[in-house]
């Protein structure tokens, strides 16, 4: 008999670290989006899934079941061994808690391997994510990092996290740095995956006194921020980071490593080339082609990113801000930590 558990029951078991989720959907389905932390052990590969789906739609349900049985029979020993090798308690799921997860759970039970099944499958999980985000309220007080491109905001977030301060790294969750060059060396995540990872982080941070994140645009790569997070950004205490121009160029080169992605860098630049004064744009393009990445980064800051950022920053002119003027990123990190720690101490006394 198949033992179903609800999303709420799974959450309780997850809190205790007692359950491994197994996604039995095809590799492409898993790659597109899944429940974070799950392991992919597909019952059908992509071509098999397509074939069986076609039979289901164009021939009959029985024809699809018969073909599915043939496919599963050939791979059953390896399939069972793989799942059996996963330690601890296990639960399987497919798209909507249907045939694939039911078949898996039934076959495993015949081999005395007990697994649960997520009722409603990934679709039920997705509904929980959407519903939870729709009514979510971030309790921790927010510090929001602002600053021109290259001021090391991501590096500051990483350092804060290492020092035990609550951090929400939205660019890491989105798989994108938020600029026209933002996907270079990364893999942009779709909205479903972003929201799943975002909710995981929000739940992890819910009992923190403070959270630090960057003043991102509403859209980061393929992902769009929910309204409540945009409001939190606008309400949060702004910290403005200022670094010398040379340090900013150095940080950009360190983060993007354009020499490892010359073609991608050139392709990305050509998307904004028409927005830059023609002689400057031509020089940038030449530098990117010939490996003059430091000069290219300097020109992009001076003639594109700095004017663009200064224009968008005018909306915060009336808001009280804390300005961190540092010579190096290390100094900026120390200053930001001091600001957060002092606020934490003041909150404890008050």
Catalytic residues: 94
Residue 42: φ, ψ to 5°: -70, 135
CB 197 within 8 A of CB 153: no
7 to 21, 118, 208, 268, 302: CA distances (angstroms): 12, 7, 25, 41, 51
Cα–Cα nearest to 332, from 342, 324, 340: 324
Contacts of 45 (CB under 8 A, 6+ apart): 26, 27
Contacts of 337 (CB under 8 A, 6+ apart): 159, 160, 163, 165
By the 10 Å C-beta count (0-12 exposed, 13-18 middle, 19+ buried), 97 is classed as buried
282 to 173, 276, 278, 301: CA distances (angstroms): 34, 9, 6, 15
Cα–Cα nearest to 192, from 30, 40, 33: 33
Cα–Cα nearest to 41, from 112, 119, 107: 107
Run of H or E including 289:
helix 278-290
Tokens of 105: 């759970």
């Amino acid at each position: 008999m198949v033992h179903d558990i609800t999303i709420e029951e799974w959450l309780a078991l997850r809190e205790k670290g007692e359950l491994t989720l197994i996604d039995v959907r095809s590799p492409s389905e898993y790659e597109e989006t899944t429940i974070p932390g799950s392991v992919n052990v597909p019952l059908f590969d992509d071509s098999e899934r397509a074939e069986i789906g076609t039979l289901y739609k164009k021939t009959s349900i029985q024809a699809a079941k018969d073909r599915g049985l043939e496919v599963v029979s050939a791979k059953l020993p390896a399939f069972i061994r793989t799942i059996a090798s996963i330690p601890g308690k296990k639960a399987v799921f497919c798209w909507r808690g249907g045939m694939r997860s039911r078949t898996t759970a039934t076959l495993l039970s015949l081999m005395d391997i007990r697994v649960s099944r997520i009722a409603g499958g990934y679709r039920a999980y997705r509904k929980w994510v959407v519903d939870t985000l729709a009514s979510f309220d971030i309790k921790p007080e927010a510090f929001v990092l602002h600053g021109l491109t290259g001021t090391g905001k991501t590096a500051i977030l990483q350092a804060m996290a290492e020092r035990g301060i609550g951090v929400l790294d939205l660019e890491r969750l989105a798989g994108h740095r938020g600029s026209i060059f933002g996907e270079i060396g990364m893999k942009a995540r779709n909205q479903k995956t972003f929201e799943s990872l975002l909710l995981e982080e929000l739940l992890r941070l819910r009992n923190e006194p403070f959270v630090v994140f960057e003043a991102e645009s509403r859209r980061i790569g393929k992902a769009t921020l929910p309204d409540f997070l945009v409001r939190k950004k606008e309400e949060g205490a702004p910290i403005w980071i200022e670094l010398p121009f040379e340090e900013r160029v150095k940080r950009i080169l360190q983060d993007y490593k354009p020499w490892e992605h010359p073609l991608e860098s050139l392709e990305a630049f050509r998307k904004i080339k028409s927005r830059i004064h023609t002689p400057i744009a031509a020089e940038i393009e030449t530098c990117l082609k010939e490996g003059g990445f430091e000069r290219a980064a300097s020109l992009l800051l001076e003639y594109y990113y700095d004017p663009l950022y200064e224009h968008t920053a005018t909306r915060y002119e009336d808001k009280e801000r804390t300005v961190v003027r540092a010579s190096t990123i290390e100094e900026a990190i120390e200053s930001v930590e001091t600001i957060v720690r002092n606020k934490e101490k003041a909150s404890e006394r008050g």
